[in-house]
Amino acid sequence: MANTYHQLYIHTVIAVKHRTALIQKKWQKNIFGMIGNLINDTGSKTIIVNGVEDHVHCFFGLKPSLSLSKIMQSVKAKSSKRINENEWLQHRFEWQPGFGCFSYGHSQIDKVYRYIQNQQEHHKKIGFREEYLRLLNRFNIDYDEQYIFTEPM
């Protein structure tokens, strides 16, 4: 075959280190836009990036020749560097190590988009921990709860 055809829709979740509420409303749009651009810079295609003060959801079409781990490592490193360079906070900004990753089919794009778009409203009813555990359970992902929200050794 002369070309590679693909349809890989990925939803990732990244958290602020210690899940501290540091992503202030006054610069949320800047950081979400920056993260979307960083994903696009890898050759993948951002669908939506949104979140709240302590975590961010990214939904994008993954370019199959790329490593998802390397994309997220790059996005987190470059976005935290820019946040720190812009001095949006009085102290150093860092992301939590690791990330959540979930795959979806084409027919689910609208539903996932709306879910991510409505994060502010969603989190008036449910906290990040409960949301994240629901995602892990919905996707039958094995995890040890004692390690799910701790720093790696």
What single string gives the DSSP state of each residue in 84-137?
HHTT-SSS---BPSS-EEEEE-GGGHHHHHHHHHTHHHHTTTS-HHHHHHHHHH
CATH number at residue 80: 3.30.70.1290
3 in a structural domain? no
Q: Which residue has the tokens 């360079």?
A: 85
152 in a structural domain? no
112 in a structural domain? yes
Q: What is the pLDDT of residue 14?
A: 96
Residue type, 120: Q
24 in a structural domain? yes
Q: Give the domain range for residue 42.
A: 9-143
pTM of the model: 0.91
80 in a structural domain? yes
In this predicted model, what pLDDT tens digit does every residue of 81-130 receive, in sequence order? 999 998 888 889 999 988 999 999 999 999 999 999 999 998 999 999 89
103 in a structural domain? yes
138 in a structural domain? yes
Q: What is the pLDDT of residue 19?
A: 83
- Confidence bin at 144 (pLDDT 50/70/90): confident
In this predicted model, what pLDDT tens digit does every residue of 41-52 receive, in sequence order? 999 999 999 999
Give the residue with greater pLDDT, 116 vs 19: 116
Q: What is the pLDDT of residue 6?
A: 84
Domain tally, the chain: 1
In this predicted model, what pLDDT tens digit does every residue of 53-88 receive, in sequence order? 999 999 999 999 999 999 999 999 999 999 999 888
Give the residue with greater pLDDT, 6 vs 133: 133
Residue type, 131: E
151 in a structural domain? no
